[in-house]
Amino acid sequence: MKVTVKMIGAFVHAAGFSERTFDLALGTTTDELLEIVKIEKSRPMIVARNGQAVTPGEKLEDGDRVVVAPTFSGG
Amino acid sequence: MFGWTGNILRVDLTQKTFRKETFSEEFAHKWVGGRGFALKTLWDELEPGIDPLGPKNKFIVALGPIAGIPAPNTGKTVVAAKSPLTGGYGDGNLGTRVTEQLRKAGYDMLIVEGAASEPTLLYIEDDKVKFLPAAEVWGKGTYATNDWIYERYGRKAGVLNIGQGGENLNLYATVRSLEGRSGGRPGMGAVMGSKKLKAIVVKGSKPIPQADPDKMKKLGAADLRTVHEMDKKSGWSIQATTGILAWCNEVAALPVRNMRKTRHSDAWKIDGERLDDARIATYGCPTCTMHCGIAIRDHEGRESELDYENIGMLGSNLEVFELDQVGSLNYLCDDYGLDTISAGGVLGFYADAIDRGHVAGDFRFGDGERAKELLRLAALREGDVGNMLADGSMRMARKIGRGSEAYAMHVKGLEVSAYNCKLCPGMALSFGTSPIGAHHKEAWVITFELNQTVRDSYGRDKAEKVIELQRIRGGLFEYIIACRFPWVEVGWELEHYPIYFNTITGLHWTLDDFWKVGDRIYALMKFFWLREMPDWSRKMDYPPMAWFDSANADTDGPIAGKVLDLEKYDGLLDHYYDLRGWDKRGIPTRRTATALGLDDEARQAEAFGRLED
Ligand code: SF4
């Protein structure tokens, strides 16, 4: 399945890309995706799938858009 | 008394007189500084119902006990007055050398009264005060004014100034300092302009009284280094506040087209990545080691310093997606001394009203060139259009009528900052209950809401979180005075602030002591509203009606078909009032006032409206 990952803020530098589409095995979870894109899970971050916050272990689906952003607390 | 100088400088521009006054330890402990000092002073000294642009209004520059002492990020000053934009208490903070210089001159607060007959520069150097002519720079922008001041007084002087916006009484004119610092969204620049006060220049040479200056010096230096390292590690200042634009676009919370839309396929053109790529310089406030001002070259080749609110309100909200043009709009706002958020809100509202045929005009979304001209008209109050735009979206809507009030994006008269809350009930509550109007600085709850709660829910947890953040952001950081970003952005714990405060003052306060001060300030701000507006109703704490209008719902994306629910918002507001100990109108009860030490103020407020037990 194809999943697009969008990095925001400092994660662009951490992951080495801004936006990229990945070919993933069916059933891949958001946690597994973070390992694939080499983002340490201990880093404070907010992850959204199709514009909605993800729940732990959430399974991805074909065509999903996942956004990884720092835990902004605001301007 | 340590920590506070204990002095106020009171200046009368009409009489060209000044005097040094002292304040009591009780006043210092009860109101701490900054917003607390300014609010209590305006409450005690302003006649109710005065014209905010008349000589009876007072312009206040207020500092706090840790302000100006090297530690993470203590270079901020609060400017305050009765707001000409909202009619309530108004204030803002900005990074400036005035913070350190005014404290070193021996004052914690400057109160400016009356009005000069000629353009004036108020010069303060320790115990000396001079009223100097400023006609040479009257009519000039803030950059030229700043340079003119630097040539005469050196670059280390503390400077606050206004541009043509303030001079011409544009109601969202701000106060400016340094290269790109701006503050006082609810028209604090217009209040200076109404007093013909073009600039304040401050130099000080005295030590700031501290209980343990040696300890504070070591602590402050070490902590500034640590915060710098934390910022580098997190990478926050690479995009700084502008990183949030791409996130807002992804989660459908970006202001687009006067907040009619929440996303745009061109948003990436003005996002934090593009901004970082276009960076030509970085600017920051004094005593800061995580500078967040990203400067780029604008369309005309000038340097323009941007943050998220600028690109959100002057970019996506106007559908201007050329970064250099957004830079130009921002430069003009800064030079004229206009609030970029309100300017973006006002122009967005104007384009929307034209679009709907509610007013005649030639401005369209996406027209950056015309937007520049409109900013000029608004700053100079030139012609009917300039005068209308200079009054802000609330007054514009009253004038235009035809139902346009529903999409004038303001709360209490202050334009909404760059978060589109079409489906963010908690953030809408934060804007709604912000006591100075729709400002993001009071409680920025949107990431909590979208990540840790069900987005489309109106539970008590959201009201609790808004209050928690108001205590910290609208409270602690506004009266102790420090920039909130080390805490909000790189994880510098709040516990450091009582340590600074106690080291400087010799007191033994905990965070709980601070929360009570914040609650006191919020309650008195509500009494201020009641005094100015005896027919106050809870509707004043509503966000713009456009967010409740199903005709406005997104047609695709994460929140397609959904908008806020007014009945449920009312329930959320009830939770908020209940948690704060306020009545159903949103006015503190007598019991709450007593618990906060506001018995006298409650009695005074009762002359203007009934208080519940
Ligand atoms: S983080 Fe930004 S706003 Fe805060 S003190 Fe530093 S430069 Fe100023």
Tell me the CA–centroid distance for residue B135 and ligand 1, in Å: 32
Helix (H) / strand (E) containing B133: strand B128-133
Sequence-distant (6+) residues with CB within 8 A of B520 are B30, B31, B36, B596, B597, B598
CB pair distance less than 8 Å for A53 and B451: yes
Q: Six-digit token pair at B412?
A: 């209490």
Residue B33 has pLDDT above 80, yes or no: yes
Between the CA of B289 and the centroid of ligand 1 the distance, in Å, is: 8
With cut-offs at 50, 70 and 90, classify the pLDDT of residue A41. Answer: confident
Q: Pick the closest to residue B352 from B308, B380, B319 (CA basis).
A: B319
Looking at residue A1, its pLDDT comes to 96
Mutate which of B234, B291, B307 for ligand 1? The one with the most ligand atoms within 8 Å of its CB, which is B291
Q: Which of B250, B453, B490 to mutate to test the interface with A (most CBs of A within 10 A)?
A: B250
Task: Give, for B110, the enclosing helix (H) or strand (E).
Answer: strand B109-113
pLDDT grade, residue A74 (50/70/90)?
Answer: low
Q: What does the pLDDT read at residue B229?
A: 97
Q: Output the CA B540–ligand 1 centroid distance in Å.
A: 31
Roughly what angle, to the nearest 10 degrees, separates helices B566-580 and B425-433?
60
Residue nearest to atom 7 of ligand 1 (CA): B284
Residues near B294 by beta carbon (within 8 Å), at least 6 away in sequence? B239, B240, B242, B275, B276, B279, B282, B305, B306, B307
Average pLDDT over residues B560-588: 98
The answer to whether A74 contacts B244, with C-beta atoms less than 8 Å apart, is yes
Tokens 């909000």 correspond to B488
| B247/A67 CB distance under 8 A | yes
Q: Is the pLDDT of residue B461 over 70?
A: yes
pLDDT over threshold 70, residue A61 = yes
CATH class of A2-69: alpha beta
User: B490 φ, ψ to 5°?
Assistant: -120, 10
Mean pLDDT, residues B98-113 taken together: 98
Alpha carbon of B77 to ligand 1 centroid (Å): 12
Q: Report the percent of chain B where pLDDT is more than 70.
A: 100
A75 and B239 in contact by Cβ < 8 A?
A: no
Task: Give the tokens for residue B473.
Answer: 């952001």
State pLDDT tens for residues B194-203: 999 999 999 9
- Residue partners of B108: CB distance under 8 A and separation at least 6: B4, B5, B6, B7, B8, B23, B33, B37, B62, B63, B64
At residue B423, the pLDDT reads 97
**Between A53, A70, A75, which is nearest B450 by CB?**
A53
Over range B44-59, report the average pLDDT. Answer: 98
**Per-residue model confidence as pLDDT tens digits over B508-548:** 999 999 999 999 999 999 999 999 999 999 999 999 999 99
Whether A20 has a pLDDT exceeding 70, the answer reads yes
Of A18, A67, A73, the CB nearest to B488: A73
Q: What would the mean pLDDT of B79-84 be, rounded to a whole number? A: 98
CA of B609 to the centre of ligand 1 (A): 40
| Cβ–Cβ contact A53 with B under 8 A | yes
Residue in B with minimal Cα distance to A66? B250
Contacts of B535 by beta carbon, 8 Å cutoff, 6+ apart: none
pLDDT at B463 over 90: yes
Cβ distance of B451 and A46 shorter than 8 Å: yes
**Given a cut of 80, is residue B343 above it in pLDDT?**
yes
Interface contact A48, partner B, CB < 8 A: yes
pLDDT in tens, B368-409: 999 999 999 999 999 999 999 999 999 999 999 999 999 999
Q: Give the pocket of ligand 1 (CB within 6 Å).
A: B 73, 75, 95, 284-285, 288, 290-293, 483, 485
pLDDT value of residue A75: 61
Residue A48's nearest CA partner among B427, B254, B242, B250 is B250
Question: How far apart, in whole angstroms, are the C-alpha atoms of residue B418 and residue B313?
Answer: 6
* pLDDT mean over B574-590: 98
Using an 8 Å Cβ cutoff, are B82 and B54 in contact?
no
Give chain B's mean pLDDT.
97
Using a pLDDT cut of 90, give the percent of chain B over it. Answer: 99
Q: Residue B598's pLDDT is what?
A: 98
Amino acid at B19: R
pLDDT range class, residue B173, cuts 50, 70, 90:
very high
DSSP state of B441: T
Q: What domains are there in chain B, each with its CATH number? A: 7-203 (3.60.9.10)
pLDDT of residue B319: 98
Distance CA B594, CA B591 (A): 5
Work out whether the CA dihedral A45, A48, A51, A54 comes out positive or negative: negative
Residue A73 has pLDDT above 70, yes or no: no
pLDDT band at A43 (very low <50, low <70, confident <90, very high): confident
Asked whether the beta carbons of residue B307 and residue A75 sit closer than 8 angstroms, the reply is: yes
Cα–Cα distance for residue pair B80/B536, rounded to 1 Å: 22
User: In sequence order, what are the beta bridge partners of A23?
Assistant: A2
| CA–CA gap between residue B413 and residue B415 (Å, rounded) | 6
Q: Is A9 on the interface with B (CB under 8 A)?
A: yes
> How close, in Å, is residue A16 to chain B by CA atoms?
13
